[in-house]
Amino acid sequence: MSRPTRTPLSDSLKQLVGRPATAIDTPALVVDLDAMQRNLSRMAEFCRKHAIRWRPHAKMHKSAAIARLQVQAGAVGVCVQKTAEAEAMADGGVMDVYISNEVVAPQKLARVAHLAHRLASEGGQLAIAVDSRVGIERLAQAMNDARRAGREGAAPAVIDVFVEIDVGQGRCGVPPGRAAVDLVHEIRKHPALRFAGLQAYHGKAQHIRSAVERRETIARAAQDAALTCRQIEAEGIPVGLITGAGTGSLVAEAASGVYGELQAGSFLFMDADYAQNERDPAQPQFEHALFVKTQVMSSGAEHAVCDAGHKSHAIDSGLPKVHAFDGPHELDYANGGDEHGILRPAAPGVKVPEIGRVLWLIPGHCDPTVNLHDHMVGVKGGLLEGRVDRIIRVDARGALT
């Protein structure tokens, strides 16, 4: 259905700004803004060095304020997966948005077309991915309907369309080669659509632990993309851009000579899953910047229980890790259900933590964890001694359609 209405920040939240991080009640999603800024600078520098565009995926942070920071740092715009996410970004002043996913429902395509015209009229632009003839025809129909419904004399907007090829993810996209060429011809039949290039994202490669295997996997994906590109250009049609990549594999796409744009998003917050990848020596060193602040609410002889369960953090990519700061890893986190986490000593001699003890969890997966929260608390000066600098609204939280 429609996207969620933006809720005003409560007074108690506004009053938190300027107070010590110790005043943040639990559970809460907290961003270490200093670590986030360092990750942002490292990524911007990496892309400058490799002379490659970057269009970070906003499905990770779901925040227009953070998207604007990324654009200020050099990003060309953002990717999103859903129409409602695109609307939330545009509402928040992000003018260059790419829906790197298929949209086929006429109800949603009407919103896509409306947003394309709106952004074009404001000097921005909207792009989208396709992988089917019916998707292309419905998109063109929606763009034409939106133009007719628009103001007299308004310039007819054109939407950039990327053909998605499946380079190993096994999800959306047509096979590399002929099937993609055929869709390019379909796109070019419609004046309201502009063929912009290829979407070639390999999601599974992101989580291959071996750096060498990740590089080899992306090398094969790049070959598939390059082959498809040559076949399209052999028919006299220029391929403007090949876009893809994620935080796990971005060094491989950047070095491929095939990809012209990186979509990596998670680097900004870094989750426990990505931290388990063997780091490619060429990859910037990204730090954990997203944490769930929690505290012990029950303590027994052999375990304690904290107030953060999987209603506070997503567990699709594994359970959160208890952040150890500079000391040794002391506590293991086990799933205690929606509302509870079970904490056990991770080493001999470590005591079960007492009631009230504050802990910081590193979520297993950023994107769906952020989606569980209405806002993130931005802290500067460190999680322990720092202060609340700002409240970051999760504008696209629950943006499902």
Query: CB-wise, 105 or 154, nearer to a second copy?
Result: 105
Q: How far is the CB of 23 from a second copy (least distance, A)?
A: 9
Exactly one of 136, 272, 377, 392 binds a second copy (CB under 8 A); which one?
377
Question: Which span (167-175, 223-231, 275-283, 322-330) binds a second copy, by CB under 8 A?
Answer: 167-175
Query: CB-wise, 134 or 212, nearer to a second copy?
Result: 134
Q: How far is the CB of 326 from a second copy (least distance, A)?
A: 26
Q: How far is the CB of 301 from a second copy (least distance, A)?
A: 9
- Report the alpha-carbon distance of residue 387 to residue 323 in Å, rounded: 19
**How many residues form the binding site for a second copy (CB under 8 A)?**
75
Q: How far is the CB of 27 from a second copy (least distance, A)?
A: 5
Which value, in Å, is the radius of gyration of the alpha carbons in the chain?
22
Ramachandran angles phi, psi of 53, nearest 5°: -70, 150
Q: Does 328 bind a second copy (CB under 8 A)?
A: no
Among residues 185, 197, 179, which one has the least CA distance to residue 259? 197
**What angle do the packed helices 211-233 and 178-188 form, to 10 degrees?**
50
- Report the alpha-carbon distance of residue 308 to residue 292 in Å, rounded: 8
Q: How far is the CB of 248 from a second copy (least distance, A)?
A: 14
**Residues in contact with a second copy, shown as a per-residue x/- string from 41 to 70 under the rule CB under 8 A:** ------------------x-----------
Reported in sequence order, the residue ranges of 94-240 that DSSP labels E, i.e. its strands, are 96-99, 125-130, 159-164, 193-199
- Report the alpha-carbon distance of residue 233 to residue 201 in Å, rounded: 20
> Mapped to the 3 state alphabet, what secondary structure does 182-193 carry?
HHHHHHHCCCCE
- 135-139 contact pairs (CB < 8 A, 24+): 135/102, 135/103, 135/104, 136/161, 136/183, 136/186, 136/187, 136/190, 136/193, 137/186, 138/104, 138/106, 138/109, 139/103, 139/109, 139/112, 139/113, 139/190, 139/193
- Report the alpha-carbon distance of residue 346 to residue 321 in Å, rounded: 11
Q: How far is the CB of 328 from a second copy (least distance, A)?
A: 26
Q: How far is the CB of 272 from a second copy (least distance, A)?
A: 16
Q: Under a CB-based contact definition with an 8 Å cutoff, are residues 329 and 322 in contact?
A: yes
Query: CB-wise, 16 or 140, nearer to a second copy?
Result: 16
Q: Interaction with a second copy in 82-141: which residues (CB under 8 A)? A: 82, 101-105, 107-108, 131-132, 134-135
**Residues in contact with a second copy, shown as a per-residue x/- string from 271 to 310 under the rule CB under 8 A:** ------------------------xxxxxx--x-x-x--x
Exactly one of 76, 172, 241, 275 binds a second copy (CB under 8 A); which one?
172
Q: How far is the CB of 162 from a second copy (least distance, A)?
A: 14
Element at 49 (helix H, strand E): helix 33-49
Q: Does 173 bind a second copy (CB under 8 A)?
A: yes
Question: Which span (248-256, 261-269, 324-332, 393-401) binds a second copy, by CB under 8 A?
Answer: 393-401
Tell me the CA end-to-end span of the chain in Å, nearest whole number.
6
Q: Does 25 bind a second copy (CB under 8 A)?
A: yes
Q: Does 373 bind a second copy (CB under 8 A)?
A: yes
